[in-house]
Chains A and B, each alone.
Chain A
Amino acid sequence: MARVAITGMGMISALGRNVPENWVALSEGRAGIGPITAVDTTNLKFKNGAEVGGFNPEEYSLKTDYLDRFAQFAAVAAREAVQTSGLNFTPELGDRSAVITGSCVGGQNTSDAGFVELYRKNNPRVNPMTIPRTMANGGASFIATEHHIRGPVYTISTACSSSNHAIGQAFWMVRSGAVEVAITGGSEAPFSFGFLKAWEAMRVVSPETCRPFSKDRKGLILGEGAAMLVLESLERAQARGAEILGEIVGFGMSSDAGHITAPSEEGAAMAMEAAMRDAQVSPMEIGYINAHGTGTALNDSTETQAIKLAMGPQAKSVAVSSTKSMHGHALGAAGALEAVATAMALKTGVLPPTANFNEADPACDLDVISNEARRQQVEYAMSNSFAFGGLNAVLVFRRFQ
């Protein structure tokens, strides 16, 4: 089986419009959380989010008539990833390449806006682009079209694990030789009034900011954006002289088969164990975990127990952080944003912190990197995603040297 190299990365989030901008913020522990501007928050109990401020798709020459905001983000991140990879998708290569993306709610902004017209304004005419804009594969299809990729192209929707499931699948396809190159990641744009009200009703969104693993944490903060990776075999990448940004070495998944929203430590631990087995690494070799770390009371304590179950004695010494404290919880894009954060941490030897951390919680007694990045060269890192519905997906990354 082939070793799988990351040769391209792209990212757009509240922290910046490209990977370098995002990485500066992540490594400085600077959060992109602020008052939500996309909707009037007067009738919302929470007021803050991690939005991509001032995003204008015209600047990217994106045809917005058939692209929802989430698909626009996907397009922007994929362009950067392809550009940094230096790949040119010839017809031969395009036919042997894949696009696999994740998204939780796809073009829900478009349906929300359509419902306002239809139900509130009694406008009987619905925008004819509503269907193509709403479909969750809108981003993947645009990427395929723009880069002439004619192999497997699809979108995975498993709530907050969508991106990790997508990246894991793409990793396996490249490793097995099923495809030569894969563009993979995820994108999300959750800031519509209807969707925010639905989150409000769940009572898991913080009224202030996101403080994962901190004793005074009050919930998650929603985020938006996209991140994409270009994956190809190490052999192929080296043959063409590409810069290797890192490696993906393992993928594991599991299902809690339990509660619809409450996480299970056994289920999460099973996915971590499966990912380490797939990577053929022991817990002792994992030096950093980019946690799911949503900042809800239940997730962070359960994830702590899961890490203890999966890592054994190494749970005490592995460095842990949640970058959701900075880019927010971008749902179906979360794993992709965190994949870039994890790969950059390995590449640069700087582990991004958990921002907004105030006080250690006995229920989260891990080595949480708080507020300031840590200079530490790590060889292997793990990135966790756990979804509502009890679906867990974990990736293992390796520093390339």
Chain B
Amino acid sequence: MFEIIAKQKRISPEQVTIDSTFQELGLDSLDAVNILFEVEGEFNISISDEQARQIKDVRQMVEGVAALAGEKKTA
């Protein structure tokens, strides 16, 4: 996931940490939409617009994706 974010902003993955906010990383709304699109493809999940709106930092994204991927496994 760090790599996906880093690729979108053309920065090195080391610059992305679990505590980075999207704002700190300079991600605008369109960057976020692109990152969610890549993450959905990578983990084969679907993130609703409502869930997407809540995500403001890397930790929230990692936890949200883990929960969605987990649901998928147990389903």
Contact = CB atoms under 8 A, between A and B. Distances in A.
A272 to B, nearest CB: 23
A207 B52 CA distance: 13
Contacts of B43: none
A298 B29 contact: yes
A45 B28 contact: no
Contact of A261 (B30, B49, B52): B30
A219 B30 contact: no
B29 A261 contact: yes
A7 to B, nearest CB: 43
Given A45-B48, A45-B49, A219-B49, A203 B33 contact: yes
A260 B30 contact: yes
Interface in A250-264: 259-262
A202 B29 CA distance: 10
Contacts of B49: 45, 203, 207, 218-219
A201 interface: yes
Interface string B12-31: 00000000000000001110
Contacts of A207: 49-50
Contact of B29 (A45, A201, A218, A262): A262
Contacts of A45: 48-49
A45 B48 CA distance: 8
B28 A202 contact: no
A215 B71 CA distance: 32
A262 B37 contact: no
Contacts of B28: 259, 262
B51 to A, nearest CB: 11
A19 to B, nearest CB: 35
B37 A259 contact: no
Interface in A219-262: 219, 259-262
Interface size class of B (residues with CB under 8 A): 10 to 19
Contacts of A260: 30
Contacts of B37: 201
Contact of A259 (B30, B36, B48, B52): B30
Interface size class of A (residues with CB under 8 A): 10 to 19
B30 A262 contact: yes
A260 B34 CA distance: 13
Contacts of B50: 207
B23 to A, nearest CB: 14
Interface in B24-71: 28-30, 33, 36-37, 48-50, 52
A183 to B, nearest CB: 36
A262 B28 CA distance: 8
A44 to B, nearest CB: 12
B42 to A, nearest CB: 16
Contacts of A298: 29
A219 B49 CA distance: 10
A395 to B, nearest CB: 28
Contacts of A202: 33
A162 to B, nearest CB: 21
Contacts of A261: 29-30
A259 B27 CA distance: 12
B31 to A, nearest CB: 10
Interface of A: 45, 201-203, 207, 218-219, 259-262, 298
22 contacts: A45-B48, A45-B49, A201-B33, A201-B37, A202-B33, A203-B33, A203-B36, A203-B49, A203-B52, A207-B49, A207-B50, A218-B49, A219-B49, A259-B28, A259-B30, A260-B30, A261-B29, A261-B30, A262-B28, A262-B29, A262-B30, A298-B29
Interface of B: 28-30, 33, 36-37, 48-50, 52
The 8 closest A-B pairs by CB, nearest first: A203-B49, A261-B30, A203-B33, A262-B28, A203-B52, A262-B29, A298-B29, A202-B33
Given A45-B48, A203-B33, A203-B52, 18 more contacts: A45-B49, A201-B33, A201-B37, A202-B33, A203-B36, A203-B49, A207-B49, A207-B50, A218-B49, A219-B49, A259-B28, A259-B30, A260-B30, A261-B30, A262-B28, A262-B29, A262-B30, A298-B29
